[in-house]
Amino acid sequence: MAASPVVTSRQRAAVVRGVPTEVVCTAFSNAVLVVATQMWEGPPKCNGVYLYTLAFQPLVHVCAKNLVAFVSQEAGNKPVLLAMALKDKTVEGIQALREVIRSCQVW
C-alpha cells in the first residue's frame, strides 16, 4: 500500500487584471494554507519595514474574509490560513484571484 503525502501543495502564476500574481495552496490533514501575492515584481524599492494591519485597511479585511470563506467552503469547512499581499483590491480583482486559487485546488 502506497502512503499518501502528508502535505500536498500547488503553485500557480497568473496575471490578474494586469498585475503579476502568484498563489500557493497547501493542504495539511487538518487545515489549508493559501498564500497570494502581487508584490514580488521587480527589485525592492526601499529599505524600510512597513507593517499594515487590517484595522487600517477595512477593504483588505473584507477581501480576506471573502477568500477564506470561499476556500473553507470548497475544502469541506476546514480551517484556512490566508496570507496575502495584494496591489489590486477591487471586487473584480478578488473575483479573478478566487479563480486562480480554485485552479490550484489541493483540498
Under the banding of pLDDT at 50, 70 and 90, the label for residue 61 is: confident
- On whether the CB atoms of residues 10 and 106 are closer than 8 A, the answer is yes
Rounded to whole angstroms, the Cα distance separating 46 from 8 reads 35
In tens, the pLDDT along 6-47 reads: 899 999 999 999 999 999 999 999 999 999 999 865 555 555
Q: What is the pTM of this model?
A: 0.81
Backbone angles phi and psi of 96, in degrees to 5: -65, -40
Domains of the chain as residue ranges with CATH:
12-37+53-103 (3.30.230.90)
Which residues have a Cβ under 8 Å from the Cβ of 89 and sit 6 or more positions away? 59, 60, 63
